[in-house]
Amino acid sequence: MTDSEARQLFEQIMALYPDPQPTLHAQNPFQILVAVMLSAQTTDVAVNAVTPELFAAYPTPAAMAAASVTDIAKKISRLGLYRTKAAHLKALSAILVEKYDGQVPANAADLVKLPGVGKKTATVVLSDAFGIPGVAVDTHVSRIVKGLGLVSPKATPVQIQSRLETLMPKSTWIKLHRSLIRFGREHLRARDPQPPSGPEWTFLATHYAPLKGEEH
């Protein structure tokens, strides 16, 4: 697939979702940071099921930092890796209080220094909390971009993000990653990927070759 074909495809995908919204339920930068960090190796549905009680108990970084890891863990015990995530939540909350006056920093360099926060989490937090453009790469985005042959099968999320951000205008980056995630969940799934119906999607059949062993 050429770059021009890829741009056309991504424009079509974004057109399917005129106003894609975050799927994690959160009301402020701290809640967004917590929810996105919890979503690692866990579905958004599962995260949304535990965060109301978590946020009610610990509405601020100061409240979270003052809690015990055991108490935090109890509130998120339905999630994968919940003990590690609980420890990260307490530690990052303490750093926010001590270093950032209880505020979530609005730059990637500071975000990725927080416990449990990687490049993808930082990109989502920046886009969802502060409207700062970036293409977050989750398993859906990775699967689609690799399946289209736009990057190497062994490309890292950072390499995929760089490729997409070079390919597409900055003004589209937030909508692009949200739309690709939706498209990956609804159409180009890991199992039995099916493009939308319609002649404008037929070219996907010749360009999309899902990689074996890709995570769903």
- Helices 157-167 and 3-16: crossing angle, nearest 10°? 90
Q: Which residues are catalytic?
A: 120, 138
HSE-CB for 154 with a 13 A CA cutoff: 0
Q: Tell me how far apart the alpha carbons of residues 123 and 130 are, in angstroms, rounded to a whole number.
A: 10
Q: Tell me how far apart the alpha carbons of residues 151 and 135 are, in angstroms, rounded to a whole number.
A: 15
Tokens 């890292």 found at = 156
Burial class (CB in 10 A: 0-12, 13-18, 19+), 202: exposed
Other beta carbons within 10 Å of 75: 21
- Helices 29-38 and 82-100: crossing angle, nearest 10°? 150
Other beta carbons within 10 Å of 103: 12
Tokens 């609804």 found at = 186
Any idea what DSSP says for residue 133?
-
Its sign, for the CA torsion 191, 192, 198, 202, is: positive
